[in-house]
């Protein structure tokens, strides 16, 4: 097959991150195709956040990241986070990236449709409020007054305004009521069905399995296993560690 159809939207090769002398991440290759929803799962400290942060060119500390990150085949490894955002690679970290002292409307206005985003879709405010009716009724509320679920939705809404080529989410379900967990994950699934490409980090494996196309299991910074969800959910390493099921 010719390259354009098969070229991944987001691709990492030989990606390594060290904190001090400690190797926190070592990924030979990870590729996400157009319109795919890939779930990254693993225990606390497995390197999930380190992975998405390295892809986004961002870090809490002072890590040393090496390797190649490509977006639509373009090597973006040398770009800083704001340039990667402009290129269409967006990360919603655990903190959600919502301005607490701005209203919902102001938060959305801050995330304006980028000028140079050919071929990328920026959701309009109307589309966003259709997608998140809860936000529509809270347009004048401040970010800081929103519930955890509403903040997560506002974080996603802001990202959609920025016309993401690929969207990464770090544990969007954390701190949410069980009912909201499935709402948020199903919304992400609907966006992917609409053409978005998503890398989803989750510790809630049970809630993740029904929505993702593929699962990547990280352990001590390495990909221990990956494959289509239908195969991976029966993998004993997933079943034993996260689902409490017999292998």
Ligand X SMILES: Nc1ncnc2c1ncn2[C@@H]1O[C@H](COP(=O)(O)OP(=O)(O)OP(=O)(O)O)[C@@H](O)[C@H]1O
Half-sphere exposure of 162 (CA within 13 A, CB side): 25
Cα dihedral 103, 104, 110, 111 in deg (nearest 10): 170
Nearer CB in complex with Mg ion: 24/180: 24
- Residues 30-69, mask of contacts with ligand X (x by CB under 6 A): ------------x-xxxxxxx---------xx--------
Q: How far is the CB of 93 from ligand X (least distance, A)?
A: 10
8/93 with CB nearer Mg ion = 93
Least separation in angstroms between CB 49 and Mg ion: 3
The CA distances from residue 197 to 102, 148, 220, in Å, are 29, 24, 26
Question: Which helix (H) or strand (E) element contains residue 25?
Answer: strand 22-32
Which region among 24-32, 47-55, 142-150, 215-223 touches Mg ion (by CB under 5 A)?
Answer: 47-55
**Cβ distance to ligand X smaller for residue 9 or 51:** 51
**Interface with Mg ion includes 49 (CB under 5 A)?**
yes
Q: Are 87 and 79 in contact (CB under 8 A)?
A: yes
User: Token pair for residue 10?
Assistant: 């987001």
Q: How, if at all, do strands 10-19 and 63-71 pair?
A: antiparallel
Q: In the set 7, 16, 18, 19, which binds ligand X (CB under 6 A)?
A: 19
42 or 143: CB nearest ligand X: 42
Per CB under 5 A, residues contacting Mg ion are 48-49
């Amino acid at each position: 097959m010719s390259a354009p159809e098969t070229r991944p939207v987001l691709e990492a090769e030989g990606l390594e991150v060290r904190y001090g002398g400690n190797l926190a991440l070592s990924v030979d290759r990870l590729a996400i195709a157009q319109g795919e929803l890939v779930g990254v799962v693993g225990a606390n400290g497995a390197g999930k956040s380190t992975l998405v942060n390295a892809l986004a060119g961002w870090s809490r500390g002072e890590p040393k990241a090496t390797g190649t990150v490509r977006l639509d085949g373009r090597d973006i490894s040398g770009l800083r986070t704001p340039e990667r955002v402009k290129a269409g690679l967006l990360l919603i970290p655990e903190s959600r990236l919502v301005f607490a002292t701005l209203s919902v409307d102001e938060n959305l206005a801050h995330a304006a449709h980028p000028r140079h985003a050919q071929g990328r879709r920026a959701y309009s405010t109307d589309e966003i409020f259709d997608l998140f009716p809860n936000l529509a009724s809270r347009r004048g509320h401040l970010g800081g007054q929103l519930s955890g679920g509403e903040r997560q939705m506002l974080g996603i809404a802001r990202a959609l305004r920025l016309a993401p080529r690929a969207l990464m989410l770090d544990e969007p379900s954390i701190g949410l009521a069980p009912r909201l967990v499935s709402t948020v994950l199903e919304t992400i699934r609907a966006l992917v069905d609409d053409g978005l490409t998503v890398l989803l980090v989750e510790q809630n494996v049970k809630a993740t399995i029904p929505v993702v196309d593929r699962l990547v299991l990280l352990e001590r910074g390495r990909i221990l296993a990956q494959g289509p969800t239908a195969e991976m959910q029966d993998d004993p390493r997933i079943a034993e560690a996260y689902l409490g099921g017999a292998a």
